[in-house]
Amino acid sequence: MLEARKIRLVMELRQQGITDQAVLSAIEKVPREAFVPESFHDQAYENTALPIGHGQTISQPSVVGFMTQALEIGPRMKILEVGTGCGYQAAVLAGLCRRVYSIERFRELLREAEKRLLDLRVNNVTTKWGDGASGWPEQAPFDRMILTAAATEVPQELLDQMSENGIIIAPVGETSREQTLIRMRHMPDNTWEKEELWPVRFVPMLDGKVGDNSEQ
């Protein structure tokens, strides 16, 4: 039953404009039901966002597909993901690149994501608990970066951790009703070329250091 729904979803994604076969294949290989609460398993292959706890959601598959496709990932690349969430986006990215580094500020969400990735034998994702806005300078530079929470602008600390020709995909906006997905390219002269892709709605990136009780 779930397998038939998955095939239908992949066909739907292709019709919507996700044409990169490697991206479609990566999505098809990841069991989305493993990343949502059991009560939502029957909706795992519907093209909709679903709650995962702590006020966070798993993005709808079309958004995951479009963001992944827009990253233009190559097999030797190193990717930074800001906002691990349930681990689904990281699992999709892992099927396309050399290594994913992923940061999550909610410790319980991170523990659950780490267990899922381990159970699925996804071995090229490295995670840490921390403030995503600070990035992961010890592992920089990154070839690609994806933000899964919305900011008013991409923090300079993250821009500084990108390699030449790097690409960042991020939702930006002042409010949840005014978010736009943008693609930023790091040019050879160290400037950034910004392209607006389409309207989106993501949970906001939280400000401040990690460590309060809600994040333990």
Residues with a known catalytic role = 59
Please, where are the H alpha helices in the chain? Answer: 2-16, 21-29, 61-70, 88-94, 107-119, 156-159
Report the candidate in 52, 64, 59 with the shortest Cα–Cα distance to residue 10: 64
Cα–Cα distance for residue pair 179/33, rounded to 1 Å: 28
Cα–Cα distance for residue pair 76/139, rounded to 1 Å: 15
Maximum Cα interatomic distance, the chain, rounded to a whole number of Å: 52
